Structure formats: structure tokens, C-alpha cells
Amino acid sequence: MNKKFLSTKELGSLLGVTRQTVRNWIKKGEIKAFHIGQNLKIPVEEALRVILHYELPVPDWLKDVALASLRPSGRGRYRKKRPWSPQRSAKKEQVFEVTSNRVF
């Protein structure tokens, strides 16, 4: 199971409360959530934080998903940069010359 978000119903069942209680906590700002379409979704990291705050046992699948989402995926900030090359810098200079001659 590789989920990044939980629904209000799923988090409510983990906490032992109704989904409306979870929605009320989101409305008060106690839980961070996102609207995906018309649905409210809670990130697994936030669900884990809430469960630990109330000192409830964390299900094994939630631990695994939360740890997997914290690992770098090899994209974005951790991506290896390409080495510098004179051709790349020459292309940048050419683009700058073309754009600098425009009349606004």
C-alpha cells in the first residue's frame, strides 16, 4: 500500500472518532488537510503526527507509508546536476543576446 493521503473517514477510524469530528478539527486548524476536488485529504505525515499526539498505537502500514514518503525519491532537490560544459554556457549567451534586442 503506497498512499500519500488519507480520507477523513480513514483517519477517523484510526483515531476512534467520526469523520465529522476530523472535519471539525481541520476547520479549527488542528489538522492540516488539502482539498482534492471536493474531498478533504490528510497527508500521511500529518495523520502520523495526530496519532502520536494522542498517544495511540500506530498501524504498521502507516509507519511504512510515512517512512517511504520521507525518503528522497531521487528527484527534485536531491537530483544530480549535469556537469558544466562550454556548449551549455554558449547557448545561454545566445539566448540572452536574442532576447536583449527586443523592443518593448
Whole-number pLDDT of residue 46: 92
Cell of 83: 556537469
Whole-number pLDDT of residue 27: 94
- pLDDT above 50 for 65: yes
Residues 11 and 22: their CA atoms lie apart, in Å, by: 7
- pLDDT above 60 for 17: yes
- Which domains, and CATH codes, for the chain? 5-79 (1.10.1660)
Residues 17 and 50: their CA atoms lie apart, in Å, by: 13
CB 12 within 8 A of CB 19: yes
Q: Which residue has the higher pLDDT, 100 or 12?
A: 12
